[in-house]
Homo-oligomer: A and B are copies of this chain.
Amino acid sequence: MSARTARNAKTLARKYYAGTEVYEAETLKIFTQRWLYVGRVSSLPEPGSYFLRDFDSESVIVLRDHREEVRAHHNVCRHRGTRLISEPEGQLAKSIQCMYHAWTYSLDGSLIGAPFMDQVESFCTEDYPLKAVAVALWEGCIFINLAADPEPFDEAFAPLIGKFTRWRLADLDIAHRITYEIAANWKLVFQNYSECYHCPSLHPVLNRLTPFRNSANDLEEGPILGGPMRMSIEGGSMTMTGQRCAPPLGEVSGDDLNSVQYYTVFPNLLLSLHPDYVLIHRIERLATDRSRIICDWLFHPNATADPDFDPSGAIEFWNMTNKQDWEVSELAQRGISSLAYEPGPYSELESMIAAWDREYLSVLEREPE
């Protein structure tokens, strides 16, 4: 681990948090080019299981097809563009049928029915499958990529590969979900998560469990940033009491039993690995000044099956901490929107934000100012 330094970096300029120019550039360079976390394989239990994910005007159907493969299709009929599915999640029968003119697609996206189109001379069903969206699976997590020719997932997110094997993430189920909508730019959520300089003033309970200086970083540059933070209670966890609420996950042992691992995965995932559970924040950019955050608490099915299982201490702890973070992120949004705002200096405790900003600007192909 290197000595922590923010290298005299300053916060990003106002334009990254206000106005439409950067928002549109982010759409082009980030949200239609990078791998995006969309959910868990366990949310697609059988062939035909699906959920929708929206990105601005885009709607993507993520489903398990009849060969058990996880696939993603644009939710747009190839005939007259009609949205095919409106319910955010559910179970499909063997196919997807447009309610307008009954064009029908198999779960793998092939057009298998188009009434009367055989009368159109030049028409050929092979030319009109649902438009496919690239999919990658990692440790039970589903990622999609809206680019025509996406960078391979294993290259884009190389530091993730094999890094958290001992938590056996793929085995976990979502035990609880809370969805938040906040009046702040999505980047403020990442920047807030990337430092504990604010913990003494904003999170007194958290700061007792993990005093803010206890953090270390093992990924300090690139799309994945973060590292472990030592807990003050040996064998504890991040809960209201500081005690674990389930047995350790997978092969978690040694130092990992006394730490929580915090990582940002650019551009829409926060990964918080505790000894006994995993917290996933999925961040949706809704507007320059509005974001949705879907927060999932993941436990091992053996733990949730235990009649004495009680995750409330973990849920309450992070719900409280989340709300503290969202409140201050909204205040940051409002202040940064002022013409009087100018970039301020990062402390050395904010070196991970400086690294995150560098990655962001690099992907956006902008120079720091």
Contacts and interface: CB of A to CB of B under 8 A. Distances in A.
A102 B338 contact: no
Contacts of A328: 82, 99-100
A201 to B, nearest CB: 4
Interface stretch (A226-234, A265-273, A344-352, A360-368): A344-352
Interface stretch (A115-123, A248-256, A303-311): A115-123
Given A57-B18, A128-B344, A338-B57, A8 B121 contact: yes
B81 A11 contact: yes
A77 interface: yes
A15 interface: no
Q: Bin the interface of chain A by size.
A: 35 or more
Contacts of A32: 339
A166 B336 CA distance: 45
A236 to B, nearest CB: 26
Nearest to A344: B79
Q: Point out which of A6, A77, A83, A119 has the most chain B C-beta atoms below 10 A from its C-beta.
A: A83
Contact of A8 (B58, B115, B122, B339): B122
Q: Point out which of A131, A201, A328, A338 has the most chain B C-beta atoms below 10 A from its C-beta.
A: A338
Contacts of A336: 76, 80-81
Contacts of A115: 197, 200, 347
A1 interface: no
A335 B202 contact: no
Nearest to A212: B116
How many monomers of this protein are in the complex? 3
21 contacts: A8-B120, A57-B338, A57-B339, A59-B338, A76-B338, A76-B340, A78-B344, A80-B332, A80-B344, A82-B328, A83-B331, A83-B332, A84-B335, A99-B331, A100-B331, A101-B347, A115-B197, A116-B197, A119-B347, A120-B345, A128-B345
Which 6 pairs show the lowest CB-CB distances between chains A and B?
A74-B340, A83-B335, A81-B336, A57-B337, A102-B201, A83-B334
Given A79-B345, A81-B332, A117-B347, 16 more contacts: A11-B80, A57-B339, A76-B335, A76-B336, A80-B191, A80-B336, A100-B198, A100-B328, A101-B197, A101-B198, A101-B347, A115-B197, A116-B349, A117-B345, A119-B348, A128-B345
Interface of A: 6, 8, 11, 18, 32, 57-59, 74-84, 86, 99-102, 115-117, 119-123, 128, 131, 191, 197-198, 200-202, 328, 331-332, 334-341, 344-349
